[in-house]
Structure 1
Amino acid sequence: MTYEEILQRLYSLEDAEKVVFKEKKYGIVSHNSLGIYHSELKKIAKEVGQNNMLAVQLFDSGVYEARLLCSKLFNPKAITEDLMEKWVVTFENWEICDSFSMGIFAKSDLALAKILEWTKRKSEFEKRAGFATMAAFCMADKKSENRLFEQFLPIIKREAKDDRLYVKKAVNWALRNIGKRNIDLNKKAIQKANEILKLENKSAHWIAKNALAELQKENVRMSDYPRAIYRSK
């Protein structure tokens, strides 16, 4: 399928009512949007297959759903820092931010570097990209030892006072995913959540309480990564 054929396909699926619905229901405010759900984009991505050049063309089209499709077509191992920086500054809502963070950034060789950098950013969705990538990286990386993920906990505490909705939700998401990686990190995450709970800040309290409610469940689901260590326990 060519670039022109994909755009033609996207425009054939245009639905203005879905644009309004996504904004009202999920808070997704997007420019140049056609109103196409991920289920349809996944079908197109499956037909097209991984194609980096085509993915970049689609992003550069400026069509919102073409950009979402880019996140499904681009090979994470081929991403460059220049492309990551070019894309992250354009994110305008949590949907596109998370699509790239989970689909590409967390699976790339630059994931750790960008987590450490972007979690310091001022822009709401650039900072969210840092934490969304952190959250996804906890599940994408199945081999690294605990010390790599333990370094994220002070960052989470540092940014727990950010009152912006889409930042604090991503901070909470990252904390929960660290705590669901294995039993030892679960204990570390619970300990950090209790520290965050003591901060004089409404967002910090929400982040901590929500994380503790999940991480302290008797039946909390954990991945036991890296399995080579935790399979024998």
Structure 2
Amino acid sequence: MIGPSSDAAELIAHLETARSEENVAGMARFGIVTSRALGISNPDIRAVARLSKKDHPRAMQLWRSDIREARLLALYTAEPKRLTTEEARNWANDFNSWEIVDCAADLFVEARLDELIWEFAADEREFVRRTAFAMIAGGAVHRKKAPDATILAWLPLIESYAGDPRNFVRKAVNWALRNIGKRNLACHAPALALARILAESPDKTTRWIGKDAVRELAGEKLLARLR
């Protein structure tokens, strides 16, 4: 039986027993990198995380396994208060899937590693840059007590990188812009203004990001909720 005292090897052995080749094939259709996957669903991995509890050193060992499910378990069981910027950078060097990136971004936001947003945005690697904008998207939602000025300070990054045509970057930039705009009325106006500027861009990717964001941010349903 797995639990808080289980080590990395025991947890990986437990995960191996739930391997599903059928699920691996299904994950590939959603753009999940499956070369080192066991085919276990996220809810099932989270269930293992609840049983095994947080353990930062063990999370580091799980990450080094290079197995998709073990890496997700590492992200779910790492201790945000103990996570360092250097550890986050080392993990980012291994990012090769939007799914891992988005789970890591939630952890990085919880760990208050905001300085990495600017660093990761400037990084040319697709999944590292996506991490920056996934962090912005998450921060806009989960940092409820953060000053609006902190959230709005990320808008120039969105404007700067809105022209990156790579699929996993452009979708994250769009996601970040929409989440800032949905935060509250104070953030809505600047985000919508930027979305409208981007929507008029001659660049195809920038224009798509702007138009898609305008479509949501200018909607009456959202405005009614924010008011």
What is the DSSP-based 3-state SS (H/G/I as helix, E as strand, rest coil) of the residue aligned with 2:128?
Answer: helix
2:150 equivalent in structure 1: 148
Greater shift in the superposed pair: 215-224 or 47-56? 215-224
Post-superposition offset of 1:223: 8.8
Q: Aligned partners of 1:59 and 1:108: how far apart in 2? A: 17
Aligned CA-pair RMSD:
1.6
What is the DSSP-based 3-state SS (H/G/I as helix, E as strand, rest coil) of the residue aligned with 1:189?
Answer: helix
Contact 2:198–2:211, Cα closer than 8 Å, also in 1: no
Task: Give the unaligned 5+ runs of structure 1.
Answer: 225-232
1:228 equivalent in structure 2: none
Q: How does 1:21-60 map to 2 (within 5 A)?
A: 21-24=26-29, 26-60=30-64
Aligned mate of 1:170, from 169, 172, 185: 172
Task: Give the unaligned 5+ runs of structure 2.
Answer: 1-5
**Residue type at the aligned position of 1:45:** A
TM-score by length of 1: 0.91
Q: Aligned partners of 1:49 and 1:212: how far apart in 2? A: 41
1:185 equivalent in structure 2: 187
Q: Aligned partners of 1:98 and 1:142: how far apart in 2? A: 19
Q: Aligned partners of 2:81 and 2:217: how far apart in 1? A: 32
TM-score by length of 2: 0.93
Aligned mate of 1:10, from 15, 21, 25: 15
Contact 2:27–2:34, Cα closer than 8 Å, also in 1: no
Report % sequence identity. 32
Change (3 A) 1:101 1:223: farther
1:91 aligns with 2:95: yes
- Runs of 4+ in structure 1 deviating by more than 3 angstroms, as ranges, are 221-224
Post-superposition Cα deviations, 1:45-95, rounded to whole Å, max 9, x if no partner, equal: 110111111111111112111001111001112111110110011111100
Q: Report how many aligned residue pairs link the two structures.
A: 222
Post-superposition offset of 1:178: 0.4
